[in-house]
Amino acid sequence: MITAEEMLAEAGLSGEIASGTYPGLSAALTALDMETGLTAEGRERALAQFRDNLARLAAIVADRAAHPEIAEVRIDRPVFILGLPRCGTSILHSLIGADAKVRTPLQWEVAAPSPPPEAATFDTDPRAAGFDAYVAANFTGAWADVLKAHPIGARIPQECGMILETAFQGINPTMLFSLPGYYEWYRQADTRFGYQVHKMWLQHLSWKNPRDRWVLKVQEHAYHLPELFAAYPDAVLVQPHRDPVTVMASISRLIEVIRCVSFETIDRAALGQELLHLWHDGQVASMAWRKANPQVKVLDLRFKDIVADPVAAVRSVYDHAGMDFSAETQQAVSNWWAANPSDKHGQHKYELADYGLTREQVESVYSDYIAAYGDYI
């Protein structure tokens, strides 16, 4: 089995960056070595993903060394959308990303960040077409169902998970390849380095293509809000909510589809139990942080309200974040909603019972969440 030291050297990473990346990479490799359910192809897919993470980080580091001024780029009052999966975070991110004044990381530039994107060529950069070609070639067959549940495309906003994983301080390895040992490491880890790398990414992407504000999202921010605020003390938080019973059924189906190309078989009941507790862990951490930090005002939203009146939902985010909601913003939001119906790529079908779960089980585990946010679900 290849070692973390060997992979870091292979990627050309050294010094503080290598030291910061090493703990998570080592934990991921150890967990991968212990994972018995993966096929040989799945194991190679995991190693390829790890190498890609390191290569993207190395590209950011190299460009930063060549252009030290990137480190001077200011990231002011970034807006972070967090919450449970499948509760409208991606919809809200894309709705806001339709505003030309807002910067969201797009999927193509997170996949291929070097050289840093430029405003003058942002709409015509050939890396975008290359990303779409990759999606068309790879999201077929068993993986085609991923597109029914989660939008993938060059000009769709990307989650922060694809950024945090370059520091090996994000949850993506667990989502893709199970790796319970890595997940337990991640839960307990001090992820300040991950958020330092996250900020490096935003500075990199902003350098030649700035906008008024950054709007970002991923559910795993809930696990490590102290580290997020250490990097972004002026961050603004928004949290949509949805019935966790619906959430668990939907996310279980999505992760089953994501993992199916790497495992011989998927034990649906085991997957249901894994995800039931995994996502609750994040909410426990988030609720504790919010209780301890009442001075940080979080905008709570209902999933039902986002889909019933997306313009009003986005306006409430802008009001909360102190952003200008112009007529152009309203039109852009309305246009995006009209162009992106929920079944654009087909119906995402799922049942809670498919994963050995019952409503009573979910409501029991999430009783604290339901008590805290019952008005929003």
Nearest to 244 by CA among 94, 135, 68, 369: 369
Helix 244-259 vs helix 268-292: angle between axes, to the nearest 10 degrees? 130
| CA–CA gap between residue 217 and residue 53 (Å, rounded) | 19
The band of 167, judged by pLDDT with boundaries at 50, 70 and 90, is: very high
Scored b (16 or more CB within 10 A) or e, 230-267 reads ebbeebbbbbbbbbbbbbbbbbbbbbbbbbbbbbeebe
pLDDT digits (tens, 9 = 90+) for 190-226: 999 999 999 999 999 999 999 999 999 999 999 999 9
Sign, CA torsion 253/254/260/263: negative
pLDDT for residue 345: 45
Order of strands across the sheet that contains 298-302: 102-103, 213-217, 79-81, 236-241, 298-302
What local confidence, expressed as pLDDT, does residue 138 receive? 87
pLDDT top residue among 250 and 344:
250
Is the model's pLDDT at 151 over the cut of 90?
A: no
* Cα 110 to Cα 100: distance, rounded to the nearest angstrom: 19
pLDDT at 347 over 60: no
Q: Which residue bears the tokens 């190693």?
A: 47
Contact between 105 and 201 under an 8 Å Cβ cutoff? The reply is: yes
Half-sphere exposure of 145 (CA within 13 A, CB side): 16
Q: What is the CATH number of the domain that holds 234?
A: 3.40.50.300
The range of the structural domain enclosing residue 100 comes to 4-376
Which pLDDT score, from 0 to 100, does residue 53 have? 98
Query: Taking the chain, what is the end-to-end CA distance rounded to the nearest angstrom?
Result: 46
Closest among 317, 283, 323, 321 to 300, alpha carbons compared: 317
Of the candidates 71, 373, 322, 374, which has an alpha carbon nearest to the alpha carbon of residue 213? 322
Q: What integer pLDDT is reported at residue 363 of this predicted model?
A: 98
CA 6 to CA 186: how far, in whole Å? 22
The runs of H, that is alpha helices, within the chain are 4-11, 15-34, 40-66, 89-97, 107-111, 126-138, 146-149, 161-164, 172-177, 180-188, 192-206, 225-231, 244-259, 268-292, 303-308, 310-321, 327-339, 359-365, 367-373
Q: What local confidence, expressed as pLDDT, does residue 25 receive?
A: 98
Tell me the per-residue pLDDT of 269-328, one tens digit each, with 9 for 90 and over. Answer: 999 999 999 999 999 999 999 999 999 999 999 999 999 999 999 999 999 999 999 999
Residue 255's pLDDT band, with cuts at 50, 70 and 90, is: very high
Which pair of tokens denotes residue 358? 């019952």
Overall domain count for the chain: 1
What values do phi and psi take at 189, rounded to 5? -70, 150
Q: How confident is the model at residue 344 (pLDDT cuts 50, 70, 90)?
A: low
- Which pair of structure tokens corresponds to residue 12? 């050309």
Whole-number Å distance between alpha carbons of 317 and 91: 13
What confidence score (pLDDT) does residue 242 get? Answer: 96
- Give Cα 102 to chain centroid, integer Å: 18
Q: How confident is the model at residue 139 (pLDDT cuts 50, 70, 90)?
A: confident
